[in-house]
Amino acid sequence: MITFEFNDTKFQARFGTIMTAAKNPRAILMNSGREVGNQLKKHFREKDQTDANTLAPDRRSHFWLAVAQMVQNPVQENPTTISVSINHPDLAQKVFGGPIFAKEAGALTIPESPEAYGRTTHTFEQETGLKLFLIHSGDSDFEKALLVVKDESGRGFTVEYLLTPSVDQKADTTALPDKSLLEAAVLSRAQRVLDRQLEEDKPNPDEEIP
Protein backbone atom coordinates (compact mmCIF):
# COMPACT_ATOMS: atom_id res chain seq x y z
CA MET A 1 0.00 0.00 0.00
CA ILE A 2 1.20 3.53 -0.81
CA THR A 3 -0.10 6.51 1.14
CA PHE A 4 0.37 10.12 0.08
CA GLU A 5 1.49 12.60 2.73
CA PHE A 6 1.79 16.35 2.12
CA ASN A 7 4.42 17.59 4.53
CA ASP A 8 5.83 20.47 2.50
CA THR A 9 6.15 23.55 4.74
CA LYS A 10 4.65 26.00 2.21
CA PHE A 11 1.76 23.66 1.44
CA GLN A 12 1.05 23.14 5.13
CA ALA A 13 1.07 26.91 5.75
CA ARG A 14 -1.37 27.67 2.91
CA PHE A 15 -3.61 24.74 3.69
CA GLY A 16 -3.58 25.64 7.38
CA THR A 17 -4.74 29.15 6.56
CA ILE A 18 -7.65 27.74 4.55
CA MET A 19 -8.60 25.34 7.33
CA THR A 20 -8.52 28.12 9.94
CA ALA A 21 -10.86 30.28 7.88
CA ALA A 22 -13.23 27.41 7.04
CA LYS A 23 -16.75 27.30 8.37
CA ASN A 24 -16.71 23.52 7.86
CA PRO A 25 -13.10 22.21 8.03
CA ARG A 26 -14.17 18.61 7.42
CA ALA A 27 -15.64 19.58 4.04
CA ILE A 28 -12.28 21.12 3.13
CA LEU A 29 -10.47 17.93 4.10
CA MET A 30 -12.84 15.58 2.28
CA ASN A 31 -12.85 17.65 -0.91
CA SER A 32 -9.06 17.83 -0.82
CA GLY A 33 -8.88 14.06 -0.46
CA ARG A 34 -11.24 13.57 -3.39
CA GLU A 35 -9.07 15.89 -5.47
CA VAL A 36 -6.01 13.79 -4.66
CA GLY A 37 -7.90 10.68 -5.73
CA ASN A 38 -9.10 12.32 -8.95
CA GLN A 39 -5.61 13.51 -9.85
CA LEU A 40 -4.10 10.09 -9.17
CA LYS A 41 -6.70 8.32 -11.31
CA LYS A 42 -6.19 10.85 -14.11
CA HIS A 43 -2.41 10.35 -13.99
CA PHE A 44 -2.61 6.56 -14.05
CA ARG A 45 -5.15 6.53 -16.88
CA GLU A 46 -2.97 8.83 -18.97
CA LYS A 47 0.04 6.66 -18.20
CA ASP A 48 -1.91 3.61 -19.32
CA GLN A 49 -2.32 5.27 -22.71
CA THR A 50 1.25 6.52 -23.09
CA ASP A 51 3.22 3.58 -21.61
CA ALA A 52 2.20 0.95 -24.15
CA ASN A 53 4.64 -1.96 -24.19
CA THR A 54 6.90 -1.70 -27.23
CA LEU A 55 7.33 -5.48 -27.43
CA ALA A 56 3.63 -6.12 -28.09
CA PRO A 57 1.67 -2.86 -28.33
CA ASP A 58 -1.39 -4.68 -29.65
CA ARG A 59 -1.59 -6.94 -26.57
CA ARG A 60 -1.45 -4.85 -23.43
CA SER A 61 -1.77 -5.78 -19.77
CA HIS A 62 -3.24 -2.35 -18.83
CA PHE A 63 -1.27 -2.36 -15.58
CA TRP A 64 -1.76 1.37 -14.98
CA LEU A 65 -5.49 1.18 -15.58
CA ALA A 66 -5.63 -1.48 -12.87
CA VAL A 67 -3.67 0.83 -10.57
CA ALA A 68 -6.16 3.64 -11.22
CA GLN A 69 -8.98 1.33 -10.21
CA MET A 70 -7.25 0.67 -6.87
CA VAL A 71 -7.15 4.31 -5.75
CA GLN A 72 -9.23 4.38 -2.58
CA ASN A 73 -11.72 6.93 -1.30
CA PRO A 74 -10.33 9.49 1.16
CA VAL A 75 -10.35 8.51 4.83
CA GLN A 76 -10.30 11.08 7.62
CA GLU A 77 -7.83 9.84 10.22
CA ASN A 78 -8.20 12.71 12.68
CA PRO A 79 -9.61 16.30 12.67
CA THR A 80 -6.67 17.61 10.61
CA THR A 81 -5.55 14.63 8.54
CA ILE A 82 -6.97 12.79 5.55
CA SER A 83 -5.38 9.96 3.60
CA VAL A 84 -5.78 8.46 0.14
CA SER A 85 -4.33 5.01 -0.39
CA ILE A 86 -3.46 3.08 -3.54
CA ASN A 87 -3.91 -0.59 -2.78
CA HIS A 88 -2.34 -2.16 -5.85
CA PRO A 89 0.14 -4.83 -4.71
CA ASP A 90 2.72 -4.15 -7.44
CA LEU A 91 2.77 -0.35 -7.46
CA ALA A 92 5.47 -0.01 -4.80
CA GLN A 93 7.82 -2.09 -6.98
CA LYS A 94 7.25 0.35 -9.84
CA VAL A 95 7.73 3.41 -7.62
CA PHE A 96 10.82 2.28 -5.71
CA GLY A 97 12.30 -0.38 -7.97
CA GLY A 98 14.60 -3.06 -6.58
CA PRO A 99 15.28 -6.76 -7.03
CA ILE A 100 12.62 -9.28 -8.02
CA PHE A 101 13.43 -12.89 -7.16
CA ALA A 102 11.96 -16.06 -8.59
CA LYS A 103 9.84 -18.00 -6.13
CA GLU A 104 8.31 -21.42 -6.67
CA ALA A 105 9.29 -21.79 -10.33
CA GLY A 106 12.98 -21.21 -9.61
CA ALA A 107 13.37 -18.70 -12.44
CA LEU A 108 11.74 -15.59 -13.82
CA THR A 109 10.59 -15.78 -17.43
CA ILE A 110 11.37 -12.55 -19.27
CA PRO A 111 9.47 -12.33 -22.59
CA GLU A 112 11.68 -11.77 -25.60
CA SER A 113 9.07 -11.89 -28.36
CA PRO A 114 5.64 -10.33 -28.99
CA GLU A 115 4.07 -13.80 -28.71
CA ALA A 116 5.58 -14.33 -25.25
CA TYR A 117 4.61 -10.95 -23.82
CA GLY A 118 1.83 -11.15 -21.25
CA ARG A 119 1.74 -14.95 -21.37
CA THR A 120 3.01 -17.55 -18.94
CA THR A 121 4.95 -20.37 -20.53
CA HIS A 122 1.98 -22.69 -20.06
CA THR A 123 -0.41 -20.20 -21.68
CA PHE A 124 2.08 -19.59 -24.49
CA GLU A 125 2.14 -23.27 -25.43
CA GLN A 126 -1.65 -23.58 -25.15
CA GLU A 127 -2.46 -20.50 -27.23
CA THR A 128 0.25 -20.78 -29.88
CA GLY A 129 0.44 -24.56 -30.19
CA LEU A 130 4.24 -24.28 -30.06
CA LYS A 131 6.49 -26.37 -27.84
CA LEU A 132 9.07 -24.58 -25.70
CA PHE A 133 12.53 -26.06 -25.30
CA LEU A 134 15.12 -25.16 -22.69
CA ILE A 135 18.67 -24.41 -23.73
CA HIS A 136 21.39 -23.16 -21.40
CA SER A 137 25.14 -22.74 -21.22
CA GLY A 138 25.60 -22.32 -17.48
CA ASP A 139 26.20 -24.72 -14.62
CA SER A 140 22.52 -24.84 -13.62
CA ASP A 141 19.24 -25.16 -15.53
CA PHE A 142 18.46 -21.46 -15.08
CA GLU A 143 21.93 -19.95 -15.63
CA LYS A 144 22.28 -18.31 -19.05
CA ALA A 145 19.11 -20.13 -20.03
CA LEU A 146 16.56 -19.55 -22.78
CA LEU A 147 13.20 -20.98 -23.69
CA VAL A 148 12.95 -21.32 -27.45
CA VAL A 149 10.74 -22.76 -30.16
CA LYS A 150 11.96 -24.47 -33.28
CA ASP A 151 11.62 -22.69 -36.59
CA GLU A 152 9.32 -24.18 -39.19
CA SER A 153 12.35 -25.53 -41.00
CA GLY A 154 13.47 -27.32 -37.84
CA ARG A 155 17.02 -26.09 -38.39
CA GLY A 156 16.95 -23.02 -36.16
CA PHE A 157 15.04 -21.60 -33.24
CA THR A 158 13.37 -18.42 -31.99
CA VAL A 159 14.00 -17.15 -28.48
CA GLU A 160 10.73 -16.62 -26.60
CA TYR A 161 11.85 -16.21 -22.96
CA LEU A 162 15.01 -15.40 -21.07
CA LEU A 163 15.27 -17.29 -17.76
CA THR A 164 16.95 -15.67 -14.79
CA PRO A 165 16.89 -16.18 -11.00
CA SER A 166 16.28 -12.46 -10.41
CA VAL A 167 16.16 -9.02 -12.01
CA ASP A 168 16.92 -5.58 -10.62
CA GLN A 169 14.07 -3.35 -11.73
CA LYS A 170 14.70 0.38 -12.05
CA ALA A 171 12.36 2.79 -10.29
CA ASP A 172 9.82 4.44 -12.59
CA THR A 173 10.25 8.16 -11.94
CA THR A 174 6.89 8.89 -13.59
CA ALA A 175 4.92 6.27 -11.65
CA LEU A 176 3.36 8.96 -9.47
CA PRO A 177 2.19 12.43 -10.51
CA ASP A 178 4.37 15.47 -9.95
CA LYS A 179 4.05 16.40 -6.28
CA SER A 180 3.97 20.17 -6.87
CA LEU A 181 1.17 19.86 -9.43
CA LEU A 182 -0.77 17.61 -7.08
CA GLU A 183 -0.38 20.08 -4.22
CA ALA A 184 -1.49 22.94 -6.46
CA ALA A 185 -4.63 21.03 -7.46
CA VAL A 186 -5.45 20.29 -3.82
CA LEU A 187 -4.97 23.92 -2.74
CA SER A 188 -7.09 25.14 -5.64
CA ARG A 189 -9.99 22.87 -4.74
CA ALA A 190 -9.68 23.65 -1.03
CA GLN A 191 -9.80 27.37 -1.81
CA ARG A 192 -12.90 26.92 -3.99
CA VAL A 193 -14.67 25.07 -1.19
CA LEU A 194 -13.69 27.77 1.30
CA ASP A 195 -14.90 30.52 -1.03
CA ARG A 196 -18.24 28.75 -1.36
CA GLN A 197 -18.54 28.41 2.42
CA LEU A 198 -17.78 32.09 2.98
CA GLU A 199 -20.19 33.12 0.25
CA GLU A 200 -22.95 31.07 1.82
CA ASP A 201 -22.18 32.64 5.19
CA LYS A 202 -22.74 36.20 3.91
CA PRO A 203 -26.03 37.79 5.02
CA ASN A 204 -28.67 38.39 2.38
CA PRO A 205 -28.84 42.21 1.83
CA ASP A 206 -32.62 41.99 1.42
CA GLU A 207 -33.09 40.00 4.62
CA GLU A 208 -34.25 41.84 7.72
CA ILE A 209 -31.66 41.73 10.46
CA PRO A 210 -32.97 42.14 14.01
Distance, in Å, from the CA atom of 197 to the CA atom of 15, rounded to the nearest integer, reads: 15
194, pLDDT greater than 60 = yes
| Burial tier of 20 (Cβ tally within 10 Å: 0-12, 13-18, 19+) | exposed
Structural domain including 190 reads 2-97+175-201
Task: Examine the domain organization and report whether 89 and 15 are in the same domain.
Answer: yes
Task: Examine the domain organization and report whether 64 and 24 are in the same domain.
Answer: yes
Which tens digits make up the pLDDT trace of 174-185? 999 999 999 999
According to the 3-state scheme, what is the secondary structure of 19-75?
Answer: HHHCCCHHHHHHHHHHHHHHHHHHHHHHHHHHCCCCCCCCCCCCHHHHHHCCECCCE
Which tens digits make up the pLDDT trace of 140-155? 656 678 999 998 777 7
Task: Examine the domain organization and report whether 51 and 27 are in the same domain.
Answer: yes
The alpha carbon of 4 is separated from its chain's Cα centroid by a whole number of angstroms, namely: 13
152 in any annotated domain: yes
165, pLDDT greater than 60 = yes
- DSSP lists the bridge partners of residue 147 as 134, 161
69 in any annotated domain: yes
Residue 3 is given by DSSP the state E
Residue 143 confidence (pLDDT): 63
Give Cα separations from 198 to 22, 45, 203 (angstroms): 8, 35, 10
Domain count for the chain, please give it.
Answer: 2
Which tens digits make up the pLDDT trace of 67-89? 999 999 999 988 888 999 999 99
- DSSP lists the bridge partners of residue 85 as 3
Task: Examine the domain organization and report whether 73 and 127 are in the same domain.
Answer: no
This prediction has a pTM of 0.81
* Local structure of 163: helix, strand or coil: strand
Residue 203 confidence (pLDDT): 61
